[in-house]
Amino acid sequence: MALVTDEAVTLAASDYSETSQIVSLMTLRNGKVRLIAKGSKRPKNPFGGRIDRLEVAQAVFTIGHRGGLGQLTELSVTDPLPGLRQSLPPFYAASCLAELILAATLDLDPHPELFKIAVHTLQRLSCGDDSAILMYRFEARMLRILGLMPEVRTCVACRRARPQNRSGLFSAASGGLVCRQCAGDHGGGIAVSGKALDALAFLAAADDRQADRVAMSPQTRGDVRRLLAEYWQHVLGRPVRAMRYL
């Protein structure tokens, strides 16, 4: 099989045998791949040591046949992201990012923009930047890129616009905001503040400089996290395990 060279983020690594590991990578040009790293646990191996998750690397591998495992032949870490392991908030945020990519993307379905945003978010988390804001922004942009962004500006049923700063009812099952007149036909929803809804819409499109200027009260942060947790649970069909620590 032909060898592929690609930029990668290590999302997961687990033991396969006494000497080998199974690794999941998100790559720039090939999307998510699952690979066997033969000999990675041996003292001398072509990977420079045991493979760890949450690192940026250059990978050389083969693509698996018909959904099977490919083989990792080389992995050169270009950014070990040391700051992720120095305190819990960035580590938990990075773990949540990896879990979302593993759960919400398909194998061999590349999303170059999402890859670049993921790397940038991990690097900023490693530098100690605000992990909550970084994750809100990453999640909003990931949802937009995957075509899953919920509607937070207009009612999904009657299309009536929500005035800025006005609170609303959010129905994950209905795909976003439902006004009070339509809520009964859509199973109701969770009450979310207008500031949280506005912040989520803004962060989905904001660049770094704009996002860095966002100021959220603890109440607004809690509302945004609750909304995103509820929506991801609906999209994935299960809670995001790492999100309980955010």
Task: Please report which confidence band the pLDDT of residue 140 belongs to, taking 50, 70 and 90 as the band edges.
Answer: very high
The β-bridge partners of 23 are 13, 35
Backbone angles phi, psi at 197, to 5 degrees: -65, -40
190-192 sheet: strands from edge to edge: 176-178, 168-171, 190-192
Cβ atoms of residues 26 and 88 within 8 Å: no
pLDDT per residue as tens digits for the range 152-171: 999 999 999 998 888 999 99
Percent of the chain surpassing pLDDT 90: 82
Average pLDDT of the residues of the chain: 94
CB-based contacts of 170, cutoff 8 Å, min separation 6: 150, 152, 176, 177, 178, 189, 190, 191, 192, 197, 227, 230, 231
| CA distance linking residue 68 with residue 61, whole number of Å | 13
- Whether the predicted pLDDT of 1 surpasses 80: no
Share of the chain above pLDDT 70, in %: 100
In the chain, DSSP finds a helix count (H) and a strand count (E) of 7, 8
**Distance separating alpha carbons of residues 1 and 4, to the nearest angstrom:** 9
Helices within the chain (DSSP H only):
88-104, 112-126, 131-145, 180-183, 194-205, 208-212, 218-236
pLDDT tens by residue, 77-98: 999 999 999 999 999 999 999 9
pLDDT band at 208 (very low <50, low <70, confident <90, very high): confident
Distance, CA of 125 to CA of 176 (rounded, Å): 28
Residue bearing the bigger pLDDT, 232 or 164: 232
Structure tokens at 209: 């400089």
> pLDDT at position 94, please?
99
Walk me through the domains of the chain, giving residue ranges and CATH numbers: 4-129 (2.40.50.140), 149-245 (no CATH)
Is residue 211 predicted with pLDDT exceeding 90? Answer: no
pTM of the model: 0.94
